[in-house]
Structure 1
Amino acid sequence: MNVRITDKFWLPRIEQTVRQGIAYQWKALNDEIIGAEPSHAVENFRIAAGESDGKFHGMVFQDSDVAKWIEAASFGLREFPDAGLESAIDSVIALIGRAQQPDGYLNTYYTVAAPDGRWTDFAFGHELYCAGHLIEAAVAYYEATGKASLLDIMSKYADHIDRAMGPNSERTNLYCGHEEIELALVKLYRVTNEERFLALSRHFVEERGKQPSFLREDPGFGNGHKDRWFDLDYHQAHAPVREQEKAEGHAVRAVYLYSAMADLALLTDDATLTKALQKLWRHVTTKRMYITGGIGSQGHAERFTVDYDLPNDTAYTETCASIGLMMWAFRMLRLEQDSRYADVMERVLYNGAISGISLDGTRYFYVNPLEVHPDVAKYRYDMQHVKTERVPWFGCACCPPNIARLLASLQDYVFNQTESEIAMHLYAANEAKFLVKGRTATLRTETDYPWNGLIHVRIGLEQATEHTLSFRIPSWCREPRISVNGEDVRLDQVAERGYARLSRMWADGDVVILHWPMTVERMEADPRVHENAGRVALQFGPMIYCLEEADNGGHLTDIRLNPDANLTAEFRADVLGGAVVISGDAERADLTEWQDELYVPVRRKTVRTRVQAVPYAFWNNRAPGEMLVWIRES
């Protein structure tokens, strides 16, 4: 399967990421961005290699920023070959190799800053976490270029880890407090066919949650906090993975674990893992997920809290957590083709993930709240994590390279293929080639999605072939229609688990037209999400909308929509680089009635106002100010 995105919405973002964003991030990793927090990540490797004097700087997991950058850059090389970029990757890989210790160990923090602390802090040491990201980078670079330089380095490190704590070691009860290596080892197995790497991944997953947990004796356990939020459930270590029915703890750690579990369930045909994942999926998406696809509502411990606790202005919803949810969703689609996974994947992609990066690709959000009052955020302790403007870099910079690797690999999320079926999950203009029954099949998709739900798919075949093409029917679409060569398809006869499964003898030149009509829809939350009582959110196609001060003035929480107000959607080329905006009449308090009194008997005097909503993913790309997703109804 080879997919090339040609989409007017996505291609400019992908190309910008690869041609400008990755170069920008490389400068940031080398401390060359003026006004950005210093990274020192590349310099740490030079110090570890003995090629530079100085002290380790940054987070204990600073190595992972370089790893994710290599992975993103490797994905970029697949579609946009660049000799200069490839040379830069080769150079940093060689540096990583020189920083590797003779026994295979590779971690700049513990080599430079804490050489006596190796394998002593599993709760927060992040050694295996960094190893996982470096392994992912190695696999991506090998698949993009055929070069095994980093793959060899990381295979040596994986062997070291296997000897130190694998299933045949003397310390078999260990695993990382921050999951990541589990899914990375599966990738390493897939390209090397070394069964020991798959066994090591499964070992780490199987050990997690066994009681009594070794983590309680770990010197890093609790991260210095003596409160419930950093207990075993923070690490998803409170119970064996098959017994976990609720998503608990640090959100990124959780979805990385679930992604690895899905990979293992697929490769080992483990129905018990699949069943556990299905329960966890239902719990996350029906009780602990924002309408934007964000997860992890609390900044303290970056974690899940309790069911329906989804505050808007203090929402944490880390960008990395959204990306992790998308990774998990795609893996669930491999286990079972059900549109509930692809619907969430789409929700995350068009809302909670790309909100983390500015339209010019050089500024980032770590957290993604659904309501912002800039002046208030400055003074409230529980909102210190909420940045009301994107910034050029972070001291904890896990999110920027994570966004880059997602965008640079987006084509990998569009389709799945089995022996007899090609399934399309995401809708973007693209050209895709598949091998079907030994013959090449080409699908050319043309669309203006997400601004328009009309999609043309043209089939190219060397020879007529019988197989199945499946297309996801978006859950937001109320009147879906499909035709093949001009003849309407009865969806009630072909729909299965949210997909239109078209099985027939396909011929060269066949055309499938998907029509997913988009209308402005008011969304309401479960009544148990008490912050959203009496409020609605606006959705158009896959995109969630918000009000910004730039369009509507301040005091956005005072704006009220009439339940029968006419809301219209219109594409505006002059707004945010071109976007569909939603406009309509609303009302707000008549402020002339409020002078020097803070509280008065109820007046309910209002004035009519015109409101304009823009895609949530694009907020804060103009003037700074207030923002609001959930709007009061009058």
Structure 2
Amino acid sequence: MAPKREISIKDVKVDDSFWNGRIGNAVEKAVPYQWRVLNDQEPGAVPSHAVMNFKICAGLAEGEFGGFRFQDSDLAKWIEAAAYSLLYKDSPEIRAALEEAVSVIEKAQQPDGYLDTYFILEKPEERWRDIAHGHELYCAGHMLEAAVALFQVTGSSRLLTVMEKTVNLIRQVFGEGEGQISSCPGHEEIELALMKAYRATGQEAYKELALYFIENRGAKPGFLEEPGFQNASKNRWFQASYHQAHARIREQETAEGHAVRAMYFFTGAADAALETGDPTLKAALEKLWENVTRRRMYVTGGVGSQGEGECFTIDYDLPNDTCYTETCAAIGLAMWALRMLRLEPKEEYAAIMERALYNNVLSGISQDGEHYFYVNPLLVKPEVARFRRDHQDVEPDRVKWFGCACCPPNITRTLCGLGGYIYTRKGDAIYQHLYIGNTGEFETEKGKARLRCVSSMPWEGKAEIAYSGPAGVEVYLRVPGYGENFRITKAGAPVSFTLSQGYARLCPQDGDAYTLSFDMKAQYLQANPQVLEDCGKACVQRGPLVYCAEEADNGPLLNSFTADLSQPPVLETSPLFGGVTVVKAAGSQIDWEKWPANALYAPAPAPTRPASLTLVPYFLWNNRGAGEMLVWMNAR
């Protein structure tokens, strides 16, 4: 039997100068911290109710349901993160917490396999009656992902057994038979979870249910006929497109609706395209990918520009100060990119995955690992954000937790599971997409292969890669689009290679060690002129990192600065944040001391003086207190 194409999460362990601290923070601080929050034991954090809801269902406590109807998913994502954290630290405390979580979930499950604390406690008579907004399938999907993670990392199948019962119930409830519901999830997620479970167990039932939900979306009225959907759809932002149910996926021309739902749906669909080999599904995903990444994505890898409906709007509508760009949506984009790479290794997919991970995803968590952003804007003036209604979703400071806390455990499971994003396999070819230090082991038809990567990214374009294993295994190394003078050497001598869709092909022998390097200059980027808010502006990017200006370094009124594009950005090594590369942008600034006293308006041109801005990586913003921040500067 040929080895599976998917690389196990246990097969790749990150050991990287940039990511070690962040993963270590997640393992040592965020995972235990979030367990306390989920148990309502963290002072100052918004109560979660997530564990208590399960305890009440299990008969271990008394009380009423608390939180949102999808509160179960917070615990599920934490279980997944905690399972992955054991790869880095085999903590008895976290193992005990996982044991406690699984035990209470087992007790909470109903005899027929039903598992959803909101409907068990609040509306038992309305099970499966609000598919549009009930989130039963969404919560089941996250819990199934958690079960797969626990199984893969620890070998324990207890939670997987729980979820097998739940999935069997879902298969009885949904379908085309008499008495079944012909519909699909209101909030996609279970599709990708079912595909994970299929690959982990080989059980065809998981794949069949995933394909049913994917193909059914937009094909039949389904939940669109429910009273709950009919009431919500009176708001223009909550119609069928909000759920990506306005058309079948092969007929969808643009990414519409709720951005997280869309990313999860496209991720599951890409999994399905890989398993079925359906070229029409692959083509549909490529079309949607182009729309998202070339017309509806922020430079930071954020998607979803509008708070109302947490949704995509129209092409090139990318406001900076009111944008939603939910952390979960960027995580979803990275997940989708990974699946597109499994379908077809192309540098552009890896570039977007990298952009999202290093910018919009990382900005969602503070350096201390205990404060979070839900929304990730590209322009902030704190007093405006606190006052104006159209900024109501923008937090000037990260917070300890949210009532709707989908993002914090999502970030933690992403950091602890980062090794799963570095490589994909295609036959006996191994593709390295991210230059993150790691050790990876791969089962191939020719035997076990091993890659060890030591990387200087994202501060320098250099990585050392050593191969051990049988001959005949091909290794493809990504040539980043931003990397200039890409070169590979072995023992100091240049290595020739062929290029394939942005990857350098090597055929290593056991013991071969390579050095790859490329130049990364800080450069100004400008947006398509159809992006109204960025017309006449520029931002700075170096390698995968997008940079921003903060009031902490430059004082207020950042918008009064104009960058001189004829002077390239200058790199500097800074002791900030333990040592980072910052950028200096030269230009001019309005001289406010010469502005007419008490004048709201004055004749042009405004008085200016030479000035420069210090820019820091975007993911680090707001780690020094609230203040102004901007990514896009005026430019000339």
Question: Normalization by structure 1: what TM-score?
Answer: 0.96
Aligned to 2:3: none
Aligned to 2:339: 331
Match of 2:147 among 130, 138, 152: 138
Aligned to 1:386: 394
Q: In 1, Cα distance between the equivalents of 2:22 and 2:384? A: 33
Match of 1:27 among 21, 36, 40: 36
Q: What code does the residue aligned with 2:503 have?
A: Y
Match of 2:283 among 250, 275, 282: 275
Give, in angstroms, the shift of residue 169 of structure 1.
5.7
Q: In 2, Cα distance between the equivalents of 1:222 and 1:14? A: 44
Q: Is the 8 A contact 1:485 1:510 kept in 2?
A: no
Q: In 1, Cα distance between the equivalents of 2:447 and 2:240? A: 52
Aligned to 1:103: 112
Q: What code does the residue aligned with 2:514 have?
A: V
Q: What code does the residue aligned with 1:409 have?
A: G
Q: Is the 8 A contact 1:14 1:407 kept in 2?
A: yes
Q: Is the 8 A contact 2:132 2:224 kept in 1?
A: no
Q: Is the 8 A contact 1:124 1:220 kept in 2?
A: yes
CA gap of 1:182–1:164, structure 2 versus 1, over 3 A, is same
Aligned to 2:89: 80
Q: In 1, Cα distance between the equivalents of 2:381 and 2:207? A: 48
My pick for the range that moved more, 283-292 or 473-482, is: 473-482
Give, in angstroms, the shift of residue 528 of structure 1.
0.4
- Aligned pairs for 1:239-278 within 5 A: 239-278=247-286
Match of 2:175 among 166, 169, 182: 166
Give, in angstroms, the shift of residue 501 of structure 1.
1.3
My pick for the range that moved more, 588-597 or 105-114, is: 588-597
Query: Is 1:466 the counterpart of 2:465 in the alignment?
Result: no
Q: What code does the residue aligned with 2:619 have?
A: A
Q: Is the 8 A contact 1:560 1:588 kept in 2?
A: yes
Question: What do residues 174-211 of structure 1 show as CA deviations (whole Å, max 9, x unaligned)?
Answer: 11110001111112222232212211111111111014
Q: The residue matched to 2:516 in structure 1 has which SS?
A: strand
Give, in angstroms, the shift of residue 585 of structure 1.
2.6
Identity %: 47
Give, in angstroms, the shift of residue 11 of structure 1.
1.2
Query: Is 1:569 the counterpart of 2:571 in the alignment?
Result: yes
Q: What code does the residue aligned with 1:578 have?
A: G
Misfit runs of 4+, over 6 Å = none
Q: Is the 8 A contact 1:329 1:345 kept in 2?
A: yes
Aligned to 1:623: 625
Q: The residue matched to 2:485 in structure 1 has which SS?
A: coil
My pick for the range that moved more, 331-340 or 192-201, is: 192-201
Q: In 1, Cα distance between the equivalents of 2:473 and 2:222? A: 51
My pick for the range that moved more, 343-352 or 414-423, is: 414-423
Give, in angstroms, the shift of residue 417 of structure 1.
2.0
Q: What code does the residue aligned with 2:494 have?
A: D
- Aligned pairs for 1:121-136 within 5 A: 121-136=130-145
Q: What code does the residue aligned with 2:499 have?
A: A
Q: What code does the residue aligned with 2:265 have?
A: L
Aligned to 2:527: 525
Q: The residue matched to 1:479 in structure 2 has which SS?
A: strand
Aligned to 1:547: 549
Match of 2:511 among 509, 512, 535: 509
Aligned to 1:476: 482
CA gap of 1:96–1:477, structure 2 versus 1, over 3 A, is same
Match of 1:65 among 62, 74, 95: 74
CA gap of 1:507–1:224, structure 2 versus 1, over 3 A, is closer
Q: In 2, Cα distance between the equivalents of 1:318 and 1:222? A: 26
Q: The residue matched to 1:57 in structure 2 has which SS?
A: coil
Q: What code does the residue aligned with 2:133 have?
A: F
Aligned to 2:561: 559
Query: Is 1:364 the counterpart of 2:372 in the alignment?
Result: yes
Aligned to 1:446: 454
Q: What code does the residue aligned with 2:126 have?
A: G
Q: In 1, Cα distance between the equivalents of 2:445 and 2:54? A: 48
Q: The residue matched to 1:23 in structure 2 has which SS?
A: helix
Question: What do residues 219-268 of structure 1 show as CA deviations (whole Å, max 9, x unaligned)?
Answer: 22166462211110000000111111210000000010001101111111
My pick for the range that moved more, 413-422 or 6-15, is: 413-422
CA gap of 1:209–1:45, structure 2 versus 1, over 3 A, is same
Q: In 1, Cα distance between the equivalents of 2:231 and 2:455? A: 49
Match of 1:377 among 375, 381, 385: 385
Q: The residue matched to 1:220 in structure 2 has which SS?
A: helix
Q: What code does the residue aligned with 1:517 have?
A: D
Q: In 1, Cα distance between the equivalents of 2:435 and 2:369? A: 22
Query: Is 1:316 the counterpart of 2:324 in the alignment?
Result: yes
Match of 1:294 among 302, 311, 321: 302
My pick for the range that moved more, 422-431 or 558-567, is: 558-567
Give, in angstroms, the shift of residue 216 of structure 1.
2.9
Aligned to 2:311: 303
Give, in angstroms, the shift of residue 518 of structure 1.
1.1
Q: What code does the residue aligned with 2:170 have?
A: I
Aligned to 1:498: 502
Query: Is 1:14 the counterpart of 2:10 in the alignment?
Result: no
CA gap of 1:337–1:223, structure 2 versus 1, over 3 A, is farther
Where does structure 1 lack aligned partners over 5 or more consecutive residues?
none
Q: The residue matched to 1:144 in structure 2 has which SS?
A: helix
Question: Normalization by structure 2: what TM-score?
Answer: 0.96
Q: In 1, Cα distance between the equivalents of 2:165 and 2:195? A: 16
Query: Is 1:409 the counterpart of 2:417 in the alignment?
Result: yes
Q: In 2, Cα distance between the equivalents of 1:319 and 1:76? A: 20
Q: In 2, Cα distance between the equivalents of 1:16 and 1:242? A: 42
Q: Is the 8 A contact 1:104 1:160 kept in 2?
A: yes
Give, in angstroms, the shift of residue 623 of structure 1.
2.5
Q: The residue matched to 1:341 in structure 2 has which SS?
A: helix
CA gap of 1:67–1:223, structure 2 versus 1, over 3 A, is farther
Q: Is the 8 A contact 2:524 2:565 kept in 1?
A: no
Q: In 2, Cα distance between the equivalents of 1:51 and 1:466? A: 57
Give, in angstroms, the shift of residue 488 of structure 1.
2.3
Give, in angstroms, the shift of residue 508 of structure 1.
3.2
Q: What code does the residue aligned with 2:183 have?
A: L
CA gap of 1:216–1:460, structure 2 versus 1, over 3 A, is closer
Match of 1:200 among 189, 209, 214: 209
Q: In 1, Cα distance between the equivalents of 2:234 and 2:125? A: 26
Give, in angstroms, the shift of residue 114 of structure 1.
1.0
Q: The residue matched to 1:56 in structure 2 has which SS?
A: coil
CA gap of 1:435–1:187, structure 2 versus 1, over 3 A, is closer
Q: In 2, Cα distance between the equivalents of 1:219 and 1:48? A: 28
CA gap of 1:222–1:612, structure 2 versus 1, over 3 A, is farther
Where does structure 2 lack aligned partners over 5 or more consecutive residues?
1-6
Give, in angstroms, the shift of residue 420 of structure 1.
2.1
